[in-house]
Structure 1
Amino acid sequence: MNLFTEIRGLVIAALEQMQSEGVLPEGLNFANVAVEPPRDAAHGDMATNAAMVLAKPAKMKPRDIADTLASKLAADPRVTNAEVAGPGFLNLRLATELWQGLVKSALETRADFGRSKMGKDLKVNVEYVSANPTGPLHVGHTRGAVFGDALASLLDFVGYDVTREYYINDGGAQVDVLARSVYLRYLEAHGQEVAFEDGTYPGDYLIPVGQELKDKVGDAYVGQPEDVWLLEIRNFATEAMMDLIRADLKALGVEMDLFYSEKSLYGTGKIEAALKSLEDKGLIYVGVLEPPKGKKPEDWEPREQTLFKSTDHGDDVDRPVKKSDGAWTYFAPDIAYHYDKVSRGYDELIDVFGADHGGYVKRMKAAVSALSDGKVPLDIKLTQLVKLWKNGEPFKMSKRAGTFITLRDVVDQVGADVTRFHMLTRKNDAPLDFDFDKVLEQSKDNPVFYVQYAHARVCSVLRKAEEAGIVADDTTLAAADLSKLSHDAEISVAKKIAEWPRLVEIAGRTNEPHRVAFYLYELASELHAFWNKGNEDPSLRFIQEGDVATSQAKIALARAVAVVISAGLGILGVTPAQEMR
């Protein structure tokens, strides 16, 4: 039940009536008419901009439209007051029964409360993490993994058909470096002393991989030239690293629907087919790019290259897809990969990249626009860096040195639930501080604790109700006499619950799961504030001794809060707490 949608429907019906009466001209577009919470709660329960957005096309004064609209809305029993403010904004106050009905709706639909059909079952591919298979996931990957997974869950909640996908970057030179690094650990397992040079990975995580290789092939590769073992060890090492990555993701509660190998694009004609598609549209040509803006690199010289005319689709410059020596650029397989996604019939694509991929956004969007003839939108979300702190000191990480902080390090120290929630306490493109001490702090300043504490408090109310012999299952609570919820503090909690269906649709429309985390903190604040009022005013306590009917109504309100918190935490991939320890 989306009360904002219901009241917007009432506003639109009133506007259409005004058209039929000749007050408003025909042919007006109501798409931008909105109903939302007012900026100041003292002004009312909801506000509409109808008069403001229709004034110009209707060639009328906003105030004139608002006055007539207010009189029509006030005639509806759901609206107790409609007041025009300023140049033509319209503030509405709603009947108490609507807020009480929200509590009933939450208890009747439970996990489905707030679910939406906004997505219309459109197929969406969300690609995230996609780390090079050269080692365990680090804390930067953790943020991308949490964000992508929560976004996928959010889109599912609002009615999209979602595929979670991981693109395995196993086609580049970095996987050869991995193979050489594993070979050194393999020699080490045979008792040889080795030196990690030429950019090889010295991390301890490769020690067991080298031992496993020894167990598999014995001394078959000892003393052999690279061309004998490189391909086999490359495949062996890649699979070992992907097993490690899958285990890391599972520890974080992330499960992919599909792992797609970059290597599968090479030698299969897929890159050629994608570029042929662009060539058929006149978007591939041989040319020479201008030198980079700013100071020209000393080794730069004009070379003929095969270029994609990405400027035709919004990019700043055209992009090379094949080098002058005939080798593919990094961009070519990425074009082929997205061509494959478009060919699989997705209606929308979302890529979650690290902050260092900012320069890749326009070219990738241009490629998808060209490949799909503008029919498949691509949204690229960049996740900014995470700064780690412990004991007041910053944690440093260096992937090549093998001393970086891994995803598993973070999860082992604070748990998957805390990790996931805290990674969503900032918008994805804003830097994030992750303080190992503060994320475990039991205070209002720690949103993870504050939201979980609210859910645990509701669970404690249900346990006390059971001890008092009060029946408090959802079916019974939904049938309770909710007219007993009439105090301003109770209605305030119900109003916050009412925002949930609207909030998830906005978050889904903007691809911003952090909005869910923010909202849950606000809802938890309402619950805690109400709890504190109950400490001062016994009539607001959830269990009223000797009055089962009133107790059930109040418990219904608390349980409705828990329903929403549980649904929101479910989107974030966090398990609701039953009690705090």
Structure 2
Amino acid sequence: MNLFTDLRGVVVEALDQMAQAGELPAGLDYGNVTVEPPRDPAHGDMATNAAMVLAKPAGMKPRDIADKLAARLTDPRIAAAEVAGPGFLNLRLSPAVWHGVVKSALSQGADFGRSTIGDGQKINVEFVSANPTGPMHVGHVRGAVFGDALANLLDFSGHDVTREYYINDGGAQVDVLARSAFERYREANGLEPEIREGLYPGDYLIPVGEALKDKYGDSLLDKPEEDWLEDVRELATQAMMEVIRQDLASLGVKMDVYSSEKALYGTGKIEAAIQRLESMGLIYRGVLEPPKGKLPEDWEAREQLLFKSTAHGDDVDRPIQKSDGAWTYFAPDIAYHWDKIDRGFDQLIDVFGADHGGYVKRMNAAVKALSNGRVPLDVKLIQLVKLFKNGEPFKMSKRAGTFVTLRDVVEEAGADVTRFIMLTRKNDAALDFDFAKVLEQSKDNPVWYVQYANARVHSVLRRATEAGIDVSDKALNAADLSALAHDAELDLAKKVAEWPRLVEHAARAHEPHRIAFFLYEIASDLHSLWNRGNDDHALRFVQEGDAATTQAKIALVRAVGVVISSGLAILGVTPVEEMR
């Protein structure tokens, strides 16, 4: 139930009536007509811009359109339609509308706010995709949480979502991993490891060395690298991917698909993708201009195989094959995205770290070309997270050797707190994570404040039950809500009504942080109403001796709980029923 969409339908129907009556030109495009909350709640419950956006194409004054439109808005839910300023139209709805919203939340439960705007569209969300060279670090936490919450949001809005991890196991970094693991293998055999510069020094490779010893004994010690590199690389990569899966599981993230970069080599998949681009006239041999900032004498001009990415919005054309015939990093990425398109996805979303900003245009160009513009690609860049404790930079144990691990953060703060806080900023804004603040019990800590609101909902339900009042779903659904008449109570019901609209807006924008913001707002409204009950007994949720009024108030509180639980589920956070 999206009340705003319903009322927009009423407005559009009235506009059609005006056109049929000759009060508006026929054939106007209503695509930009909106119905949304007014900027100032004092102006009404909803506002429509219909007269403002239709005035120019209709060749009429906005206020003339608004006056006629107001007269035709006779839907019983609309108590008043008031023209303001040059032609804005403010709508005031009857209290029964807000009572109906509460009823809808109670009857639909966890499905309240669930949308069908996705219409089953197949969306691939690729996120994390860390190199399989060690445990995940704090820089991966935010991308993992963002990608998973975005997938939850898209699923809740009616999309068919696939969560995918792209294993970067085809580059030189996995050879470095193999050499690093071999030193731990030597250590497991009683030799001193030689952790040379450029190798991975973390203790996390000690178990890998022991596993190599269990499998090979000491048989690899005297063999040249070319004899053991491939086997060690495969075992070490598998071991690291298992660590990564465990890291993700500790954060509550489960992937649907793991795709391998290595699997693209030697299979003809890279060649097939490049040939497709070549058939479009987008592959040629040429020489690139020197990168910005380099003097001509520092630049060695050489002919390369290039993708004409400028034909699809990129700044420069991009090399896909080196002068020695080896593929560049970009080539397998092209093939990987071609594979996703070939699997039938209607939309692709890539979640990258902020250091991949320069990759966005070339990847968009490739996807546009490969899909003939049919499949959009949205690349979301994740800014860095800075760790603090009591306002000071915080350094934890670096058992990984060179970085703070994801597991360190989860063990210190907990998965639920970590997930919620990671979504309190838009993905492309920097985020400070202060371990003291995210665990404190105050209004300034959004996760605690929202969880406290949910616990308060359940506390009220328990108190009402102890008072002998039936607060079962059946009883609350049947309750007479006319007792909800105070402005503060109706305002809270109006906030509940915004939830379905908020879900759709957040899903369309691919911005799960909007869910976290909304949860904080509705929690604040619930706490505010609770506090007002301390001074005004009529606003208390449990009215002693008046079961009917109590049920009406509990129904409102329960509706808020429905929204909070659904919102936390999208964020991947477990709602608590009691604060400890």
TM-score (norm 1): 0.98
Q: Distance in 2 between matches of 1:485 and 1:17?
A: 35
- 2:39 corresponds in structure 1 to 39
- 1:420 corresponds in structure 2 to 419
- 1:405 corresponds in structure 2 to 404
SS for the counterpart of 1:452 is helix
Q: For residues 441 and 297 of structure 1, do their structure 2 counterparts lie closer, same or farther at Cα, with a shift above 3 Å needed? A: farther
Q: For residues 192 and 297 of structure 1, do their structure 2 counterparts lie closer, same or farther at Cα, with a shift above 3 Å needed? A: farther
Is the Cα–Cα contact under 8 Å of residues 481 and 553 in structure 1 kept in the other structure? Answer: yes
SS for the counterpart of 1:222 is coil
Q: CA deviation at 1:221?
A: 1.0
Q: CA deviation at 1:174?
A: 0.2
Q: For residues 212 and 481 of structure 1, do their structure 2 counterparts lie closer, same or farther at Cα, with a shift above 3 Å needed? A: same
Question: Which aligned pairs between 1:317-396 and structure 2 lie closer than 5 A?
Answer: 317-395=316-394
Q: Distance in 1 between matches of 2:258 and 2:245?
A: 10
Is the Cα–Cα contact under 8 Å of residues 201 and 400 in structure 1 kept in the other structure? Answer: no
SS for the counterpart of 1:119 is coil
SS for the counterpart of 1:437 is helix
SS for the counterpart of 1:470 is coil
Letter in 2 for 1:146: V
SS for the counterpart of 1:121 is coil
Q: Could you list the runs of 5+ residues in structure 1 that have no partner in the other structure?
A: none
- 1:440 corresponds in structure 2 to 439
Which digits, 9 at most, give the CA deviation of each residue in 1:331-386, with x for residues without a partner? 00000000000000000000000000000000000000000000000000000000
- 2:201 corresponds in structure 1 to 202
Q: CA deviation at 1:463?
A: 1.1
Is the Cα–Cα contact under 8 Å of residues 135 and 400 in structure 2 kept in the other structure? Answer: no
Q: Distance in 2 between matches of 1:12 and 1:523?
A: 30
- 1:269 corresponds in structure 2 to 268
- 1:145 corresponds in structure 2 to 144
Is the Cα–Cα contact under 8 Å of residues 396 and 404 in structure 1 kept in the other structure? Answer: no
1:224 aligns with 2:212: no
Q: Does 314-323 or 80-89 show the bigger shift?
A: 80-89
Q: For residues 333 and 297 of structure 1, do their structure 2 counterparts lie closer, same or farther at Cα, with a shift above 3 Å needed? A: farther
Is the Cα–Cα contact under 8 Å of residues 129 and 166 in structure 1 kept in the other structure? Answer: yes
Is the Cα–Cα contact under 8 Å of residues 397 and 404 in structure 1 kept in the other structure? Answer: no
Q: Distance in 1 between matches of 2:122 and 2:482?
A: 43
Q: For residues 443 and 484 of structure 1, do their structure 2 counterparts lie closer, same or farther at Cα, with a shift above 3 Å needed? A: same
Which digits, 9 at most, give the CA deviation of each residue in 1:226-274, with x for residues without a partner? 0111000000000000000000000000000000000000000000000
Q: Distance in 2 between matches of 1:247 and 1:579?
A: 29
- 1:113 corresponds in structure 2 to 112
Is the Cα–Cα contact under 8 Å of residues 199 and 400 in structure 1 kept in the other structure? Answer: no
SS for the counterpart of 2:98 is helix
Q: For residues 398 and 383 of structure 1, do their structure 2 counterparts lie closer, same or farther at Cα, with a shift above 3 Å needed? A: farther
- 1:64 corresponds in structure 2 to 64
Is the Cα–Cα contact under 8 Å of residues 127 and 351 in structure 1 kept in the other structure? Answer: yes
Question: Which aligned pairs between 1:244-255 and structure 2 lie closer than 5 A?
Answer: 244-255=243-254
Q: CA deviation at 1:392?
A: 3.1
Q: CA deviation at 1:80?
A: 1.3
Q: CA deviation at 1:166?
A: 0.2
Is the Cα–Cα contact under 8 Å of residues 277 and 369 in structure 2 kept in the other structure? Answer: yes
Which digits, 9 at most, give the CA deviation of each residue in 1:295-318, with x for residues without a partner? 337642111000001011110111
Q: Distance in 2 between matches of 1:496 and 1:400?
A: 46
Is the Cα–Cα contact under 8 Å of residues 105 and 559 in structure 2 kept in the other structure? Answer: yes
Q: Distance in 1 between matches of 2:293 and 2:248?
A: 41
Q: CA deviation at 1:543?
A: 1.0
Q: CA deviation at 1:529?
A: 0.2
Which digits, 9 at most, give the CA deviation of each residue in 1:28-65, with x for residues without a partner? 00011000001111111001000010001000011110
Q: For residues 297 and 513 of structure 1, do their structure 2 counterparts lie closer, same or farther at Cα, with a shift above 3 Å needed? A: farther
Q: For residues 195 and 397 of structure 1, do their structure 2 counterparts lie closer, same or farther at Cα, with a shift above 3 Å needed? A: farther
Which digits, 9 at most, give the CA deviation of each residue in 1:271-297, with x for residues without a partner? 000001100111101111111123337
Is the Cα–Cα contact under 8 Å of residues 178 and 233 in structure 2 kept in the other structure? Answer: yes
- Equivalent pairs counted in the alignment come to 580
Letter in 2 for 1:286: R
- 1:14 corresponds in structure 2 to 14
Is the Cα–Cα contact under 8 Å of residues 419 and 573 in structure 2 kept in the other structure? Answer: yes
Q: Distance in 1 between matches of 2:399 and 2:447?
A: 33
Q: CA deviation at 1:213?
A: 1.4
- 2:52 corresponds in structure 1 to 52
State the Cα RMSD in Å: 1.3
- 2:565 corresponds in structure 1 to 566
- 1:233 corresponds in structure 2 to 232
Letter in 1 for 2:407: R
SS for the counterpart of 2:123 is strand
Q: Distance in 1 between matches of 2:344 and 2:506?
A: 24
TM-score (norm 2): 0.98
Is the Cα–Cα contact under 8 Å of residues 477 and 556 in structure 1 kept in the other structure? Answer: yes
Q: Distance in 2 between matches of 1:475 and 1:330?
A: 59
Is the Cα–Cα contact under 8 Å of residues 398 and 405 in structure 2 kept in the other structure? Answer: no
Is the Cα–Cα contact under 8 Å of residues 127 and 164 in structure 1 kept in the other structure? Answer: yes
Q: CA deviation at 1:396?
A: 5.4
Letter in 2 for 1:225: P
Question: Which aligned pairs between 1:290-329 and structure 2 lie closer than 5 A?
Answer: 290-296=289-295, 299-329=298-328
Q: Distance in 1 between matches of 2:338 and 2:374?
A: 13
Q: Distance in 2 between matches of 1:228 and 1:297?
A: 43
Question: Which aligned pairs between 1:51-130 and structure 2 lie closer than 5 A?
Answer: 51-73=51-73, 75-130=74-129
Q: Distance in 2 between matches of 1:458 and 1:488?
A: 20
SS for the counterpart of 2:194 is coil
Q: Does 250-259 or 77-86 show the bigger shift?
A: 77-86
Which digits, 9 at most, give the CA deviation of each residue in 1:527-557, with x for residues without a partner? 0000001111111111111111111110000
Is the Cα–Cα contact under 8 Å of residues 107 and 475 in structure 1 kept in the other structure? Answer: no
Q: For residues 386 and 359 of structure 1, do their structure 2 counterparts lie closer, same or farther at Cα, with a shift above 3 Å needed? A: same
Q: For residues 398 and 200 of structure 1, do their structure 2 counterparts lie closer, same or farther at Cα, with a shift above 3 Å needed? A: farther
Identical-pair percentage: 73
Q: Distance in 1 between matches of 2:400 and 2:568?
A: 36
Q: Distance in 1 between matches of 2:129 and 2:230?
A: 22
Q: Distance in 1 between matches of 2:211 and 2:556?
A: 57
